[in-house]
Amino acid sequence: MTKKTKLNDSSESADALKVRLDKWLWAARFYKTRAIAREMVQGGKVHYNGQRSKASKIVEIGAIIKLAQGVDEKTITVLNILEKRQSAPIAQSMYQESDASIAKREENSIARKNNSFFAPHPDKKPDKKQRRELLKMKSS
């Protein structure tokens, strides 16, 4: 009788490992839960090689994934495939973000900071009467 041995994720070849897109996004720590990753893929917030795809799409090394994460949009290249969620340094080694994507995110961050600097900030919260006046003004 032969004894089956279980291979570690790190020793498995990436070619033999087939991982769904939603599971890979979760394992790479782009989304906190797999359900959120699935919703983002189904909602069209994730593009695999330039096209909308299903959550069941099998991820391949070298694929380009464009995804929305909060207000930011990232463009990444798949470098490694793991099925299970690992520590953050291992997860970061699974992909590489493009230089253009990093530059665009930094530009957007600076623009958001500048916009919030010029936005009016009240000293205190509006009371009941002021809230009603604001709602009345917004609705008209």
Q: What is the tens place of the pLDDT at every residue in 66-122?
A: 999 888 999 999 999 999 999 999 999 999 999 999 999 999 999 988 887 777 777
Residues in the chain: 140
pLDDT tens-digit readout, 8-35: 444 445 456 899 999 999 999 999 999 9
Confidence of residue 3 (pLDDT cuts 50, 70, 90): very low
- The CA distance from 89 to 42, in Å, is 28
Q: Confirm if 22 and 41 have CB atoms less than 8 A apart.
A: yes
Token duo for residue 60: 């391949």
Residue 1 has pLDDT above 70, yes or no: no
C-alpha of 80 from chain center:
17
Residue 58 has pLDDT above 70, yes or no: yes
- The CA distance from 76 to 91, in Å, is 13
pLDDT reported for residue 123: 84
Q: The domain 11-109: what is its CATH number? A: 3.10.290.10
pTM of the predicted structure, to 2 decimals = 0.73
